[in-house]
Amino acid sequence: MGRAPDLTRRVLSVPGSFRRGTTPEVTREAEAFPSDEIHIGGSAAMSTIAEVAIHLDLSERRVRELQGMNVLPKAARGDLDCDVCRVAYIRYLRDLQPEPPQPGDLDPAQERARKDKALAETAELRNAVTRGELVRYDDVERDVREILLATRERFLAVPVEVQTDMPPEVAQLAHDVVRNRLYVAMEDMAADGDAQVLAEAEARKAVAKQAKQRRSL
């Protein structure tokens, strides 16, 4: 009952049915409560929904809603324990709050945003490829390699063509000079550092040097 705490303070130090300074009405009112239901603060006193609402700083309607959600205990009118209701409500509020992130944990919102951004970028790249605005690196590398190989083969055919157009006495020399020049040019153009091309170019340089020395004799 809501009046029990007040009566406790009024008669706590007054044993017996009547004490000095206490009126008979107060004494009779105090004796109407069993001793095991009178506690300071009213921890064992039963309360109504209105009293629980005041205790939890809620409206009576909200208390009933929490009872319907099985958050607060249900009881007959005036049979609610404020302490039990308070603990139940605190636990309910605690469960509503997510646990604070620990050091090293990924923030869920940031992780979702990162994944959404990655998916959007992937979709945009795929659409750009479909529209022909973007090409794959592997496709470009393959095509460029094929073009370079075809160009190299065409260049290497030039010395033979020059040789057939020259007089017999200088045909071989013309062939060697043109071929060596082409290898030097390909060496300069070999940005990818093709070891085989470089080795061939060095060999052709040596041949060109020897041919020059023979002509100077």
Q: Same structural domain for residues 146 and 177?
A: yes
Give the pLDDT confidence score for residue 97 in this predicted structure. 75
Place 56 in a pLDDT band, splitting at 50, 70 and 90. very high
Question: What is the domain extent for residue 212?
Answer: 137-216
> Can you tell me the distance from the alpha carbon of 44 to that of 42, in angstroms, rounded to the nearest whole number?
5
Which of 87-91, 132-136, 144-148 shows the lowest per-residue confidence on average (mean pLDDT)? 132-136
Q: Which of 120, 122, 186, 128 is nearest to 153 (CA)?
A: 186
pLDDT at position 28 over 70 = no
Contact 73, 86 (CB under 8 A): no
pLDDT in tens, 176-200: 999 998 888 888 777 555 565 566 6
Q: Same structural domain for residues 190 and 107?
A: no
Q: How many CB atoms lie within 10 A of CB 91?
A: 11
Domain tally for the chain? 3
Q: Which of 9, 90, 13 is nearest to 56 (CA)?
A: 90
pLDDT at position 2 over 60 = no
Place 77 in a pLDDT band, splitting at 50, 70 and 90. confident
Q: Same structural domain for residues 107 and 68?
A: no
Contact 175, 183 (CB under 8 A): no
Q: Same structural domain for residues 191 and 157?
A: yes
Q: Same structural domain for residues 34 and 9?
A: yes
Which of 37-41, 56-60, 121-125, 185-189 shows the lowest per-residue confidence on average (mean pLDDT)? 37-41
Beta bridge partners of 81: 46
Q: Same structural domain for residues 70 and 12?
A: yes
Q: Same structural domain for residues 41 and 63?
A: yes
Q: What is the pTM of this model?
A: 0.33
Most distant CA pair in the chain, distance: 149
Instruction: Share the mean pLDDT of the chain.
Output: 74
54, 64, 79, 85, 181 from 50: Cα distances, Å: 6, 10, 12, 12, 103
Q: Same structural domain for residues 175 and 126?
A: no
Contact 6, 41 (CB under 8 A): no
Question: In the chain, what are the helix, strand and coil shares in percent, each to the nearest 5?
Answer: 70, 0, 30
Where are the extended beta strands (E) located within 24-119? 46-47, 80-81
Q: Same structural domain for residues 195 and 144?
A: yes
pLDDT in tens, 104-118: 666 778 888 888 898
Domain boundary among 88, 114, 134: 134
Q: Which of 208, 163, 200 is nearest to 183 (CA)?
A: 200
Give the pLDDT confidence score for residue 216 in this predicted structure. 59
Contact 204, 179 (CB under 8 A): yes
Q: Same structural domain for residues 158 and 200?
A: yes
pLDDT in tens, 136-163: 888 888 898 899 889 888 988 999 999 9
Percentage with pLDDT > 90 across the chain: 21
**How many alpha carbons fall within 13 Å on the CB side of residue 121?**
6
